[in-house]
């Protein structure tokens, strides 16, 4: 059976709207045309720091340095299979979603315009342009960029690619499917929440594989729409003041993501920019991998709760490494 979220047909969803095991396995076939499964390691120093076994899923090792590429690949594959591949797509981003859409659009010969807010990451902008993206700067935050992108798509008759959609979830879920199969003993995973695709995809993989691990959502303490919305049972707008975690800088939660997330998230952890910066330093020292703010958030959350994790196998995700060089130098230099 098929359904729709935001107007585009999805492929083999479950009754609750999450992708089934078969859908995730099919999505993996699409993803692996571009790159193979990313690694996950039990890092000794990170485990020592956390006080228990800590596994890190390295989504920073994809061709765009972030997990989002998986969703872009499956989204465009669904468009192609349904015969609705457009001439032009438009979307909004703080960077990693835009690289995902830019990569997939280029692969399918589709023109791509991406809207980012003023002051967006210089290096993420450069990476999108290198993929052939036409970049437009508009608005002071992601929400303003998103609203402008929707308006622009309507004016041009272009296809608006949302930040949360069932066909994006199928692709992103392949990361968690890989992780949970590779480390079946996981007791708990920490998942950063931006627009919600990562958390909902972790839930999908857990249910598809029949695992009993706990999923802990991680939000920025300076962008609390998902924490506030889950507590209230409805979308609650919240201001965004984070300086580091641009991948989590969401002002208005997606209602479809909230609906899927609410029954399955064990609890939420709010991490400050200072905690994120420390996690960026810790991950670099322990693994010599670079983490952007959102990419370090799950480790920051685990560290915040480390006294409660003794004897458990903990999974975190270095979900992105696309941090500007000047920002990284400033963070590492603040030891």
Segment 267-291, tens digit of pLDDT = 999 999 999 999 999 999 999 999 9
CA distance 97 to 37: 19
pLDDT at 225: 97
pLDDT at 56: 98
Closest CA to 219 of 269, 256, 279, 146: 269
233 Ramachandran zone, left/alpha/beta (phi>0; psi -120 to 50): left
User: Among the three residues 160, 179, 199, which one is the final residue of a domain in this structure?
Assistant: 160
> Which H helix or E strand runs over 88?
strand 88-92
Q: For residues 281 and 151, state if they share a domain.
A: no
Residue that has been written with the tokens 């032009």 in this structure: 88
* Count, residues in the chain: 335
pLDDT at 4: 36
pTM for the full predicted model? 0.93
pLDDT tens-digit series, residues 38-88: 999 999 999 999 999 999 999 999 999 999 999 999 999 999 999 999 999
Residue that has been written with the tokens 């959102």 in this structure: 294
Q: For residues 215 and 314, state if they share a domain.
A: yes
Q: For residues 242 and 148, state if they share a domain.
A: no
Q: Which residues contact 210 (CB under 8 A, 6 or more apart)?
A: none
Q: For residues 150 and 290, state if they share a domain.
A: no
> What are 302's two structure tokens?
């685990």
Dmax (CA) for the chain in angstroms is 56
Q: For residues 104 and 175, state if they share a domain.
A: no
Containing structural domain, residue 226: 4-66+166-332
pLDDT tens-digit series, residues 85-132: 999 999 999 999 999 999 999 999 999 999 999 999 999 999 999 999
Average pLDDT of the chain to the nearest whole number: 94
Q: For residues 264 and 277, state if they share a domain.
A: yes
Task: With H, G, I as helix, E, B as strand and everything else as coil, classify residue 219.
Answer: strand
- Strands of 188-192's sheet, edge to edge? 40-42, 54-58, 314-318, 188-192, 214-220, 267-271
Q: For residues 47 and 196, state if they share a domain.
A: yes
pLDDT at 334: 85
pLDDT at 175: 98
pLDDT at 2 over 90: no
Q: For residues 146 and 175, state if they share a domain.
A: no
CATH number, domain with residue 105:
3.40.50.1100
pLDDT at 10: 42
Say how many C-beta atoms besides its own lie within 10 A of residue 221's C-beta. 18
Q: For residues 209 and 280, state if they share a domain.
A: yes
At CA 260, angle to CA 299 and CA 8, rounded to 5?
110
User: Among the three residues 108, 125, 160, which one is the final residue of a domain in this structure?
Assistant: 160
Q: For residues 267 and 138, state if they share a domain.
A: no
User: Among the three residues 160, 183, 208, which one is the final residue of a domain in this structure?
Assistant: 160
Q: What is the dihedral of CA 23, 25, 27, 29, to 10 degrees?
A: -150
For the chain, percent of residues with pLDDT exceeding 70? 95
Number of domains into which the chain is organized: 2
CA distance 159 to 112: 10
Task: With H, G, I as helix, E, B as strand and everything else as coil, classify residue 59.
Answer: helix
The CA distances from residue 215 to 91, 182, 211, 265, 316, in Å, are: 29, 17, 11, 5, 10
pLDDT at 15: 63
pLDDT at 169 over 70: yes
Q: For residues 191 and 45, state if they share a domain.
A: yes
For the chain, percent of residues with pLDDT exceeding 90? 94
pLDDT at 14: 65
Residue/partner pairs of 241-244 with CB below 8 Å, 24 or more apart: 242/273, 242/293, 243/273, 244/273, 244/276, 244/277, 244/280, 244/293, 244/327, 244/331
Q: For residues 310 and 239, state if they share a domain.
A: yes
């Amino acid at each position: 059976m098929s359904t729709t979220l935001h107007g585009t047909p999805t492929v083999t969803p479950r009754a609750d709207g999450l992708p089934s095991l078969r859908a995730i396995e099919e999505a993996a076939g699409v993803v692996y045309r571009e790159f193979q499964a990313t690694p996950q390691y039990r890092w000794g120093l990170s485990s020592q720091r956390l006080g228990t076994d800590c596994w890190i899923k390295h989504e920073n090792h994809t061709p765009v340095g972030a997990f989002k590429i998986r969703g872009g690949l499956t989204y465009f594959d669904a468009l192609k299979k349904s015969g609705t591949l457009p001439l032009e797509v438009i979307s909004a981003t703080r960077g990693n979603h835009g690289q995902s859409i830019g990569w997939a659009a280029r692969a399918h010969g589709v023109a791509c315009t991406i809207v980012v807010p003023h002051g967006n990451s210089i290096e993420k902008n450069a990476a999108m342009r290198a993929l052939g993206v036409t970049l437009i700067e508009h608005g002071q935050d992601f929400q303003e960029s998103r609203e402008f992108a929707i308006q622009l798509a309507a004016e041009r008759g272009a296809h608006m690619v949302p930040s949360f959609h069932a066909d994006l979830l199928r692709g992103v879920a392949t990361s968690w499917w890989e992780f949970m199969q590779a480390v079946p003993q996981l007791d708990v995973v920490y998942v950063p929440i931006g627009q919600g695709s990562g958390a909902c995809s972790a839930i999908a993989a857990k249910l598809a594989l029949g695992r009993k691990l706990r999923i802990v959502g991680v939000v920025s303490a300076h962008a609390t729409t998902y924490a506030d919305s889950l507590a209230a049972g409805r979308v609650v707008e919240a201001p965004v003041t984070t300086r580091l975690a641009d991948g989590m800088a969401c002002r208005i939660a997606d209602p479809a993501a909230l609906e899927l997330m609410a029954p399955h998230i064990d609890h939420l952890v709010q991490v400050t920019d200072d905690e994120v910066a420390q996690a960026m330093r810790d991950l670099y020292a322990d693994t010599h991998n670079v983490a952007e703010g959102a990419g370090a958030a799950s480790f920051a959350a685990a560290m915040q709760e480390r006294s409660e994790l003794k004897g458990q196998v903990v999974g975190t995700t270095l979900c992105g490494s696309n941090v500007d060089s000047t920002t990284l130098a400033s963070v590492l230099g603040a030891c």
